[in-house]
Structure formats: structure tokens, C-alpha cells
Amino acid sequence: MSETQFPLLGSSPDDMEEIRQARKVEVALGYRLFAAQHWGDLGDGHISARDPERTDCFWLLRYGVSYHEARVSDLVLVGPEGQLVEGEGFINRAAYYIHHPILMARPDAASAVHVHTSWGTPFAAECRPLEPISQEACIFFEDHAIFDDEEVQVQDVEGGGRIAEALGEKRAIILRNHGLLTVGHRVDEAVGSFVFLERVAEVHMKARQAVPISAAAARYAREDLTRYGAGRVGFWNLVARHIGDPQIVLT
């Protein structure tokens, strides 16, 4: 992996501690980006980061911290049984129920992202797939799934397992009557993809008579849009706009 793939890493991107720290920084930044979008004010969301060594464990913001104040020191490491492995504070149980099964089913994924949003939630209530009706929508063309299930309050890992099964190998899933969820091989990619997905949901809710482009045109656009990681580019642009110095989450 090159240094450009890990912008927060130094000269040793293969060092597990360095990769862990970079992922944790991106998780904390991701929560702050959610706050900048006025998402998660009720604590209704979560961002996970798989630990690079303890791969059946993931990092998460401890329960009760306001997203706009998220710091690396506020993260907790959640174990495979939902136990606190490292850090202090309470674990968001819903996050464990959803994220653990997804990360276990997707060894390629380093992160999963879910938060309740103004457009994603109502769009999910319509239980319909995305169409290529905008440039950003092409990112998810043939690369998203629908979880057509009435379980909007996931209360066990079996519920999360059903989400993971419906997700399959896709980058995103629409949770019926619940909202949106994305995964990524990096934290910044997963978070940035989520922001794009929310904007795509907004277009779908506003453009009721939209005319989709062809499948061939959508695939052509998707190939270019995802070539360097559409979500990752979006993530770091949002950081520059809303946060500034990424090191703020280390203070």
C-alpha cells in the first residue's frame, strides 16, 4: 500500500499500530462530519473501524458522546461477544448487533456506517432501489441492496446477520423503513460513500419524474467515479470544509 492510500500514515503504512491509529482518527472525524451535517443529534448512528490485528473486534464511539466532540480517546474497542475490550464507557448495543455481523461477513470491509438522515430515512420507507438519475447515483448503480424486513429496531446479532446477508458484496444497502448503510475497505471511503448516498436519496425524493440514463451510461460513469475512491475524495473535502486540521480529534 502506498502512502497516498493512507494520508494520515507516516513512512510505515504496513505498521499495524499506525494503521489502527489512522482508522481511529478517521472514525472520530467521521462522527464530526455527521454533526456538521446535523445528523446523529439524537445519537442515532454509528461508524465502525475493524481493528487491523484483532480482526473480529471493531472501534466505535462510546455511548453518550456528542458527535461534534468525538475524539480518538472517546473510542472503545468492541469484542466479538459485544464486550468492552479496550477503552472506557458504554457500548452502543445496536451498533454491535449491526456492525459485528456485517464485518464478519465482509472480510474486505474495514468499516460500516449508518446514521438516520433527513432524506435517507424517508427514501428507505419507500423500499425501492436507486436509479441512475444523477451523477452521484451512478456510484451505486448495480452496487446496492435492499433489506426488505420490518425489523427497524435491531435487537440481536441475528437481525444484523440478516442485514449482512442482504448486503452481500455490495457497497451500500437500503434498510426498509430505517435508513441507509454503507461499507468500505477504508473508513474514509465508507463515510464519504454514505454522504454521497444520502444526497442520492435526496435527489430521488425530490425528482419524482426523473428519467434514468441507460445502464451502459451508468456503468461508464461508475467506473470513472469510483476509480480513485469516490467516498474517500468526498470525505477529505468535507474534512477540509467543516473541520480543518484533522489532528483536532487527538486533543
pLDDT (tens digit per residue) in 183-235: 999 999 999 999 999 999 999 999 999 999 999 999 999 999 999 888 999 99
pLDDT at residue 43, as a whole number = 86
Residue 230: other Cβ atoms inside 10 A: 21
Helices (H), the chain: 16-36, 93-105, 120-125, 157-167, 187-206, 215-225, 230-242
pLDDT at residue 13, as a whole number = 61
Determine contact, residues 187/47, Cβ cutoff 8 Å.
yes
Residue range 82-107: mean pLDDT, rounded? 96
pLDDT at residue 4, as a whole number = 42
Query: Domains along the chain?
Result: 3-245 (3.40.225.10)
DSSP 3-state assignment of 4?
Answer: helix
Question: Closest Cα partner for 114 from 57, 52, 177, 34?
Answer: 34
Residue range 101-108: mean pLDDT, rounded? 98
DSSP 3-state assignment of 78?
Answer: strand
Take residue 215 and report the three cell numbers written for it: 445502464
Q: What is the mean pLDDT of the chain?
A: 94
pLDDT band with cut points at 50, 70 and 90 for residue 156: very high
Residue 246: other Cβ atoms inside 10 A: 17
- Cα 138 to Cα 75: distance, rounded to the nearest angstrom: 34
Asked if residue 11 has pLDDT above 50, the reply is: no
- Cα 113 to Cα 90: distance, rounded to the nearest angstrom: 19
Determine contact, residues 119/202, Cβ cutoff 8 Å.
yes
pLDDT at residue 5, as a whole number = 46
Determine contact, residues 55/46, Cβ cutoff 8 Å.
no
Judged on CB neighbours under 10 Å (0-12, 13-18, 19+), 93 is: middle
What CA–CA distances, in Å, run from 54 to 49, 59, 97, 128, 183? Answer: 11, 11, 18, 37, 19
